[in-house]
Chain A
């Protein structure tokens, strides 16, 4: 049974991240996703200290707030003349360090393991079951991720055209009255939520992998945004299932294997994609030079 729940958890993480990641990479904000996934740490710790429990609702809330703070600070620094990438680097490393500091200062009360925060504990998801009336109804992580995924699908589904236009042409979006800044922060809020729901299972570092690698792979395979999101989902789910079996065979880190599989899939798409692949382009080049030679 544990294997099943691990794969479900992995697939849910990959789905949440896969949908949001598409919008992040199209808006050239992949690194902002990276930043959020790290800087939510102090939010999680503070929520833990305030509520005294690992109850995920508090953590989601704390992390979402810090997620907004991250995005806000990055933008503030950029607008005041700090280089874009430098301001991302400054904000997320400082916040992450603050989180590490908070954990080590309160080590006696905080039952948070730094290794767990960084790499996740997907192997143990089924040990932490949600109990309703004394009946186990499945791992807490699965419920949390399920709710997050539902929310993401609902918000993106309802406002798909707004998110799309904001990503492609924010100037036109603003001109026709779409509140571009609001949708920006909604997207960032969803990314924060996805990150927090995911970090317990796959950790802060690997969640970035699932946020960026499957969408980047899908980008190489299609010319349509809708298809890109679908492919990104499929690639994410394949990565988590194949990753689980690979980990079982190699007796290695499950989350690590999942992102490795995603990385291999990206490499395959990069080389062999029918539209953007390196090999296909080279072949086409050779064919055209050969034609010119005649």
Chain B
């Protein structure tokens, strides 16, 4: 599961995060391979979002080291894109879709430069990639949940990163948006980019992701979906609370995964 390439997009060593002394992420170590779509799976409260936030420095960590392409995250910010949970922002904020997408460029603009025509053009391009070009001038509160999610994705594209973190991009979106997102993810993968996605819908895991990371406070398993996304591992991650996992008994989960495509 570990590659010995020194330039892994992301390597995390012994990461421990605690909220008021109660550890939520314990001693997590992993290294991701370039150009993969990776699903982060686990029950509620397993620390999936916390893990992402800790890697991005949004959450103080107790111990651990995070390297992005071999260097600390702080010096590699421009290589990393982030899609927070949709509910984390106030959609009544007085701004429109294009403006939100242009926020993805702020990291590249430096301290004082203002977004201008170039940023506007990039923003429009990213909006059209997620099929939202017609909504550029729309006040964001007037967009549906799925459209809001696509605006968030367009903003991440505008960040022009090579390593992406997406926190539940599929939560509460319509089928059209889900399809748009997965097309986009595959596009990113084709360009050699690496994407980590916090995901909830177990039914689609083997269709969407190359690798999965099962966590429940600590790392349960991490590896190729075919060999890692097994009933036994899932039971471990979900503490045996999972009664129904796959539509049919499969000794070889890889087979179902292929059939699903």
Q: Which residues of A line the B interface, CB within 8 A?
A: 26, 28, 158-162, 164-165, 167-169, 171-178, 219, 222-225, 227-228
- B106 touches A (CB below 8 Å): yes
Chain B 86-144 interface residues, beta-carbon cutoff 8 Å to A? 88-90, 93-96, 99-100, 103, 106-107, 109, 111-112, 114-115, 139
Ranked nearest first, the 8 interchain pairs of A and B with the lowest CB-CB distance are A176-B107, A223-B139, A175-B82, A171-B84, A175-B56, A169-B89, A177-B77, A168-B93
Query: A177 to chain B: which residues have CB within 8 Å?
Result: 74, 77, 107
Query: Contact at B58–A171, with CB atoms within 8 Å?
Result: yes
Bound CA–CA A168/B92 (angstroms): 10
Query: B96 to chain A: which residues have CB within 8 Å?
Result: 223-224
Query: Contact at B95–A169, with CB atoms within 8 Å?
Result: no
Query: Contact at B114–A161, with CB atoms within 8 Å?
Result: yes
Query: A164 to chain B: which residues have CB within 8 Å?
Result: 95, 103
Residue of B nearest to A169 (CB): B89
Nearest CB on A from B87, distance (A): 11
A-B contact pairs, 8 of them (CB 8 A): A159-B112, A160-B114, A171-B82, A173-B106, A175-B57, A177-B107, A225-B93, A227-B94
Query: B57 to chain A: which residues have CB within 8 Å?
Result: 174-175
Residue of B nearest to A177 (CB): B77
Query: Contact at A161–B106, with CB atoms within 8 Å?
Result: yes
Query: A162 to chain B: which residues have CB within 8 Å?
Result: 106
Residue of B nearest to A160 (CB): B114
Known A161-B114, A175-B56, A176-B106: A224·B82 in contact at CB below 8 Å: no
Partner of A228 from the list B58, B94, B106, B112 (CB cut-off 8 Å) is: B94
Bound CA–CA A160/B109 (angstroms): 12
Bound CA–CA A28/B93 (angstroms): 11
Known A161-B115, A168-B103, A169-B88: A175·B77 in contact at CB below 8 Å: yes
Interface of A is mostly: helix
Residue of B nearest to A275 (CB): B139
Known A171-B84, A177-B74, A224-B94: A165·B112 in contact at CB below 8 Å: no
Query: A160 to chain B: which residues have CB within 8 Å?
Result: 114
Nearest CB on A from B100, distance (A): 8
- B25 touches A (CB below 8 Å): no
Partner of A168 from the list B56, B90, B112 (CB cut-off 8 Å) is: B90
Partner of B95 from the list A159, A174, A225 (CB cut-off 8 Å) is: A225
Residue of A nearest to B159 (CB): A176
Residue of A nearest to B113 (CB): A161
- B80 touches A (CB below 8 Å): yes
- B53 touches A (CB below 8 Å): yes
Extra A-B contacts (16), CB below 8 Å, given A171-B88, A172-B155: A159-B112, A161-B103, A161-B115, A164-B103, A168-B95, A168-B103, A169-B89, A169-B103, A171-B84, A174-B56, A175-B57, A175-B80, A224-B94, A224-B95, A225-B94, A228-B94
Query: B88 to chain A: which residues have CB within 8 Å?
Result: 169, 171
Query: Contact at B114–A223, with CB atoms within 8 Å?
Result: no
Query: B100 to chain A: which residues have CB within 8 Å?
Result: 168
Nearest CB on A from B74, distance (A): 7
Bound CA–CA A219/B89 (angstroms): 17
Bound CA–CA A167/B96 (angstroms): 15
Query: A176 to chain B: which residues have CB within 8 Å?
Result: 77, 82, 106-107, 159
Query: B106 to chain A: which residues have CB within 8 Å?
Result: 161-162, 165, 173, 176, 178
Query: A222 to chain B: which residues have CB within 8 Å?
Result: 94
Nearest CB on B from A275, distance (A): 8
Nearest CB on B from A284, distance (A): 13
Nearest CB on A from B151, distance (A): 12
Nearest CB on A from B113, distance (A): 9
Residue of A nearest to B58 (CB): A174
Bound CA–CA A246/B230 (angstroms): 76
Mark B150-171 against chain A: 1 for CB-CB distance below 8 A, else 0.
Answer: 0000010001000000000000
Query: B103 to chain A: which residues have CB within 8 Å?
Result: 161, 164-165, 168-169, 172
Bound CA–CA A164/B57 (angstroms): 20
Query: Contact at B82–A223, with CB atoms within 8 Å?
Result: no
Query: Contact at A175–B58, with CB atoms within 8 Å?
Result: yes
Query: A165 to chain B: which residues have CB within 8 Å?
Result: 103, 106
Nearest CB on B from A137, distance (A): 33
Partner of B84 from the list A158, A161, A172, A219 (CB cut-off 8 Å) is: A172
Query: Contact at B95–A223, with CB atoms within 8 Å?
Result: yes
Chain B 48-94 interface residues, beta-carbon cutoff 8 Å to A? 53, 56-58, 74, 77, 80, 82, 84, 88-90, 93-94
Residue of A nearest to B102 (CB): A161
Bound CA–CA A169/B83 (angstroms): 11
Query: A178 to chain B: which residues have CB within 8 Å?
Result: 106
Known A165-B103, A177-B77: A171·B53 in contact at CB below 8 Å: yes
Bound CA–CA A187/B159 (angstroms): 26
